[in-house]
Structure 1
């Protein structure tokens, strides 16, 4: 199911990215928070923010050969490499959830917000900030993200409402004048 979601994404949807800029920023922030919690729990702070969380939880989890092949075919043209890492991680996470019933219940599903963000306008660019095609957000640290307030609903209607709040204007000071 996760692979099917990834395959259905229009990774070049810049119009969608701009139309959903606010919800995509919120979804990325929520992913960063969740990934920070998992990084702290599994001693993976050095790998944060874009890492294979399933591999940290259970390095033995594997994908069926056909799924792995389809996934790699999809990822061939995607970038940056951290985007490919999270897509692999999301598919491996789904396999881990199927294979193990004893996953920690005190940690939230790490990839749900990131998959929703991808579905609302494709990927991102990684520089000093995360560029989500319409909004840029700082990465921060594991600690600052782990302590951020959670976003309690990822329901499409709530995300659509966030995006429809009206036009947002960004101003920049370009000189003292």
Structure 2
């Protein structure tokens, strides 16, 4: 824990990629796997996502990491823009993913897992007026743990329709898994 506290704020790059995180509460800057409700945090979900990149060679670019595995490709896209304005769309990054060299003529399935302050954290599930989160009954804590996950979408893709497009909001990341037959 002490190593993480000392190291993470001082390191801009971790394994060749820089992903910046902002928290709503500037006083709460701790990195933890579980929160006060004994629930998984953003860092837990990010760790699971990054585990997919630990066994195979990775390719890094501006706001993305790609690796090929046994069943397809994993692509991690991130938008660390932290400007907070009323014009949300001004800070949304649009990624165009061209898979022509990979898929040939076949149709494929792509899963998207979106992780941000609304998806993958209980802050997106619990009303902000509730302050005593430690005192939740165990049944409610269990229910929260079942629903607290990145937002998952499964999409088909046909290369004849053009590039696969992802619109990524500010302070978010998405892991795409391209499943090959």
TM category, shorter: under 0.3
- What TM-score comes out, normalization by structure 2 length? 0.25
Larger strand share, 1 or 2: 2
Asked which structure has the greater CA Rg, the reply is: 2
